[in-house]
Amino acid sequence: MASPSSPSCKHRMLLLALLVLAAVASSTKAAAYLYDDLKVTWGSGCSYFYLDGGDVDTLALCLDRSSGSGFSSNGSYLYARYDMDIKLVANDSAGTVATFYLMPDDVPWEYHDEVDMEFLGNATGEPYTLHTNVYVNGAGGREQQFQLWFDPTEDFHTYSIEWNPKYIIFLVDDTPIRAYKNDRARGVPFPTWQSMRAEGSLWDAEEWATQGGRVKTDWAQVPFYAYYRNFRVTPCVPSPGVAWCGDEPPESAWFDQRLDAAALQRVQAENMIYDYCVDQKRFNDTGFPVECTTA
């Protein structure tokens, strides 16, 4: 008889979970399930969907010695808010990186836009680091990092990316931690034309993820799992009288009301541990990017 941890047993458990999900979905048409909105795109060997009480289904992404894993949303949008509940790798997660990010389809790498939330693993007892970045036309380098104010491995927390014509806002449990402003009038790059899907992954980045690569992945701990559920997308809504979000005039204050400036300032003062806009050593020769300078 196969042990509960054997590959054959895991595959039977996965098949059983999917059959249960299919049966529930067929009898409850109004319910929305994660596996209807997402697809596992790589490393499916030990990743699986399962029911986590009631009608809540969860995707367990896996990292083992052979591969990490990832998913992509079925739908893509030009301006939207993307929310995902995530529970991160517990115990010694050094070297691992779990992600939730936005990415377009079929755009050459040197021109693609991307909005990243990356959770950098840690040795037991050390805080997780949330690494954020924004790529526009293939160029990134806009990193800000934060230490979370809770243990993200004990329970699910909501991580969100709000992308509208005025801002990209990163949120944790509905609290803004970063706002990247569309300031095209000053030449600040901003993603405006590529529809993007939500994606996520769990992979090994021991060369840089934990203390700059000084702490390596402990492969005796495999498999590692990160858990994703309750994926929501809210398409952008323009202000009254505007046809769609892309036509929102620059002077409109419609999207300013979606940003809690006081909460943002508090988190950045208390939890930010790196900001590219104050990295003197990095930009000593070239000067700071235009978005880091005052008008």
Integer Rg of the chain from CA: 20
Structure tokens at 274: 């790196």
Looking at beta carbons, which pairs linking 208-214 to residues 24 or more positions away fall under 8 Å?
Answer: 209/94, 209/95, 209/96, 209/97, 209/120, 209/121, 210/94, 210/95, 210/120, 210/121, 210/122, 210/123
Whether residue 64 contacts residue 231, with contact meaning beta carbons closer than 8 Å, is answered with no
Which of 110, 118, 199, 206 is catalytic? The answer is: 118
Which of 110, 114, 248, 270 is catalytic? The answer is: 114
Residue 118 is a catalytic residue: yes
Q: Which residues contact 40 (CB under 8 A, 6 or more apart)?
A: 47, 59, 69, 70, 71
Residue 162 is a catalytic residue: no
Q: How many C-beta atoms lie closer than 10 Å to residue 81's C-beta?
A: 19
Whether residue 90 contacts residue 153, with contact meaning beta carbons closer than 8 Å, is answered with yes
Mapped onto helix, strand or coil, the DSSP state of residue 237 is coil
Choose among 57, 15, 1, 7: nearest CA to 223. 7
Which residues are the active-site residues?
114, 118
